[in-house]
Amino acid sequence: MLRRSSLADNILDPRAQAMYKYSFPWEVPFVTDRALPKTSIADRPTVGHPSAAAALGTPPVGHPSAAAALGTPPVARPVRVGIAGATGFAGQELLRLMARHPHARITAAMSSGTSGSPRKLPALDRIWDGAVVPFDADVLEDATDVVFLSLPEDVAADVAPALFDRGVRVIDLSGAFRLRDEAIRQRWYPRTRTPMVEPVYGLTERHGAALRDAQFVTCPGCYPTAALLALEPLAEANLLAGDVVIDAKSGISGAGKTPSERTHFSECHGSVSAYGVFGHRHGPEIEQELGRAVNFVPHLVPLDRGILETIYARVTPGTTMRHVHDVLQAAYATAPFVRLRGDTLPEIKHVVSTNFCDIGWRVDEPTGRLLMVSCLDNLVKGAAGQAIQNFNVVLGFDERAGLLT
């Protein structure tokens, strides 16, 4: 049984309190900032320009009399957010971005371990001045409405279902629950047990409708995000023919914060190496969502962050550059974080520290060969940024909140 939110207790108008208490079975009521224009989710209502209130002679949003003047409930307090695994690369990125989110307040930031002293993060000084404390599920339950899990897979496999069972909305950045087939999942994530409720696969641009009001979201991996955003629309349009090869290159942060020989500076500086050939867990994730086999080969490159995937495929006879453009444009016409570059192939430096995925392509029409390049920042669009994008869609906020606004 999901616990009832206390958010309704903070609504300004007592009559509106009663309406919220009995109208919403979920934990956090949908909240809309009228200063943020809506985009991307087709059936959301369009919100007017922020100057509309002045033009209409109505009080500004947030003023106690605004609800009565506009005939709508007043804005509720920010959503209480917890971040578990806040000292990792993706966890720190979550803290940096969520600290400025207009509809959220960070009420808990925890490491993945259960012991240790509170820890300040100097890189976030004056952005977020709290301290990261040891993990405590009871505190997360009591102090938060939504929890982001940026934990190792084995830890998330236990923590995510436990929090969900306690009525906490969970957005999981680990890979523990991405694979739906139990036999395949047991090969790659043996600690994970089948959850009581199947989580929504949080590739935001492709599953926006399923994400609305979801209680449990599993965010895609960084490599699959870049590959699927490029390929899924073409697969759905039946434009792909034959083998698909994904030659993927990632910066060192994609390997996580735990040091290893492979991520040692002396080993990776000035070098590029393939790894996980026919043995990387993101391969079956891409195949699951794409519905076809792929040859996926990841590489480690001496960069802090960023992913560039060069994708090779064949298209059905008669397919042109224009056909590919039209399919991708139809898929992402209202997607604020997918930038279509056409035959101008994207580069990592164009997307670093942003939530954008840039996609370029070329078609050799006489031979039917297709080349695509998909770029993103593995810590933002490939992790923290996409998780926040999902948070926004789940709770009915503008998809760009905290990321572009």
> Which residues are catalytic, by number?
222
Rounded CA-CA distance 375/363 in Å is 18
Is 283 in contact with 296 (CB distance < 8 Å)? Answer: yes
Enclosing H/E stretch for 236: helix 222-236
For residue 144, which of 120, 109, 115, 172 has the smallest C-alpha distance?
109
CA dihedral 87, 89, 91, 95 (to 10 degrees): 90
Q: Provide the 3-class DSSP secondary structure of residue 216.
A: strand
Cα separation, 130 vs 375, whole angstroms: 33
In single-letter form, the type of residue at position 249 comes to: K
Letter string b/e over residues 190-216, b meaning 16 or more CB atoms within 10 A of that residue's CB: eebeebeeebbbbbbbbbbeebbbbbb
For residue 245, what are its two tokens? 């090869």
Evaluate whether 385 touches 403 at the Cβ level (below 8 Å).
Answer: yes
Long-range contacts of 230-233 (CB under 8 A, 24+ apart): 230/309, 230/311, 230/359, 230/361, 230/372, 230/374, 231/290, 231/311, 231/313, 231/372, 232/206, 232/289, 232/290, 232/331, 233/327, 233/328, 233/330, 233/331, 233/332
Closest CA to 107 of 82, 73, 71: 82
- Report the 10 Å Cβ neighbour count for 98: 23
Cβ pair 305, 378 in contact under 8 A: yes
Q: How far apart are CA 180 and CA 207, in angstroms?
A: 15
Per this entry, what is the length of the chain? 405
